[in-house]
Amino acid sequence: MMNDVPLELLVSACQTASGDERAALSLAGLAIRSGARSTLASLWSVNDRSTADLMIGFYEQLVSGTSNRANALRQAQLALLHSESYRHPYF
């Protein structure tokens, strides 16, 4: 084993959480089964620009130290929902 410290967070997008009955949760599931403490992955294709903005907001919340992972994601999602650029349900 190269490192005894488990991966804290794996982030991936564009259907990397989808799988079939033989590959439950695909890349995200593999990461969890391999010892990652948590994953953030999407079940469907995502828009590159909105995903980049979401992740910027997510990481800004995380590094501020005021949010846990779930709340950081929630705050980033809310910021996107209130943005003029991403009001369409597609985003």
Q: Tens digits of per-residue pLDDT, 21-30?
A: 555 456 667 7
Q: How many whole angstroms separate alpha carbon 1 and alpha carbon 19?
A: 27
Q: What is the pTM of this model?
A: 0.73
Residues 56, 36: one domain? no
Residues 41, 56: one domain? no
For 66, phi then psi, to 5°, come to -100, -5
Q: How confident is the model at residue 2 (pLDDT cuts 50, 70, 90)?
A: low
Which of the two residues, 19 and 41, has the higher pLDDT score?
41
Per-residue pLDDT tens digits for 46-68 = 788 998 999 999 999 999 988 89
Residues 19, 3: one domain? yes
Residues 41, 61: one domain? no
Which of the two residues, 41 and 57, has the higher pLDDT score?
57
Residues 72, 62: one domain? yes
Which of the two residues, 83 and 14, has the higher pLDDT score?
83
CB distance 18 to 28 below 8 Å: no
CB distance 38 to 12 below 8 Å: no
Per-residue pLDDT tens digits for 62-90 = 999 888 999 999 999 999 999 999 888 78
Question: Looking at residue 81, what DSSP letter applies?
Answer: H
According to the 3-state scheme, what is the secondary structure of 37-60?
CCEECCCCCCCHHHHHHHHHHHHH
Residues 52, 38: one domain? no
Residues 28, 64: one domain? no
Residues 66, 80: one domain? yes
- Give the range of the structural domain holding residue 78, as residue numbers without chain letter: 47-91
Residues 4, 42: one domain? yes
Q: How many whole angstroms separate alpha carbon 34 and alpha carbon 28?
A: 10
How many folded domains does the chain comprise?
2
